Structure 1
Amino acid sequence: MGKMEAKREAKRRAILAAARDEFLSVGFEAANMDRIAAAAEVTKQTVYRYFPSKIDLFEATIRYIGQSSGADFTHHLEGPDPKAALVQFAQGFVRWHLEEESLCVFRLLIAESARSPEIVRTFFSVAPDETNAALATFFAQRLGVTEPEAHVRLLTSILLAHRDDALLGRGRPDDHEIARHAEMAVRIVLADLGVRSTS
Structure 2
Amino acid sequence: MDQTVTHADTPVHRGRKYAQVLAGARQVFLSDGFEGASVDEIARVAGVSKATLYKYFPDKRILFIEVVNSECQRQASAAMDSIDKTAPPREVLGQTGRHFLSFITTEFGQRIFRICVAEAERFPELGRAFYESGPAVMRQEIAEYFGEARARGELRIADDLLAADQFGELCKAQVWMQLTFGVIDRVSATEIDRVVDSAVEVFLARYGT
TM category, shorter: 0.7 to 0.9
Q: Identify which of 19, 34, 38 aligns with 2:40.
A: 34
Question: 1:168: which partner in 2?
Answer: 181
Size of the aligned set, in residue pairs, is: 188
Question: 1:150: which partner in 2?
Answer: 162
- When the two chains are superposed, the root-mean-square deviation of aligned CA atoms in Å is 2.3
Question: 1:111: which partner in 2?
Answer: 118
Q: Deviations over 1:61-105 (max 9, x none)?
A: 113334677873223443431320111110111111111221111
Whole-Å separation in 1 of the counterparts to 2:73 and 2:130? 14
1:180/1:71 Cα in 2 relative to 1: closer, same or farther (>3 Å)?
Answer: farther
Comparing 152-161 with 72-81, greater Cα deviation is found at 72-81
Mapped contact 1:91–1:179 kept (Cα < 8 A):
yes
Whole-Å separation in 1 of the counterparts to 2:72 and 2:141? 15
- Offset at residue 138 of structure 1 (A): 0.6
TM-score by length of 1: 0.83
1:71/1:108 Cα in 2 relative to 1: closer, same or farther (>3 Å)?
Answer: farther
Runs of 4+ in 1 over 4 A off after TM superposition: 67-71
**Higher strand proportion (structure 1 or 2):** 2
Whole-Å separation in 2 of the counterparts to 1:75 and 1:68? 10
Matches within 5 A, 1:10-159: 11-66=17-72, 72-81=78-87, 82-144=89-151, 145-159=157-171
**Higher helix proportion (structure 1 or 2):** 1
Comparing 35-44 with 171-180, greater Cα deviation is found at 171-180
Whole-Å separation in 2 of the counterparts to 1:154 and 1:74? 18
* Letter of the structure 2 residue corresponding to residue 187 of structure 1: E
Unaligned runs of 5+ in 1: 2-7
Unaligned runs of 5+ in 2: 2-14, 152-156
- Percent identical pairs in the alignment equals 29
Whole-Å separation in 1 of the counterparts to 2:37 and 2:191? 37
Mapped contact 1:62–1:123 kept (Cα < 8 A):
yes
Mapped contact 1:59–1:123 kept (Cα < 8 A):
yes
Comparing 61-70 with 138-147, greater Cα deviation is found at 61-70
TM-score by length of 2: 0.79
Mapped contact 2:69–2:130 kept (Cα < 8 A):
no
1:71/1:158 Cα in 2 relative to 1: closer, same or farther (>3 Å)?
Answer: farther
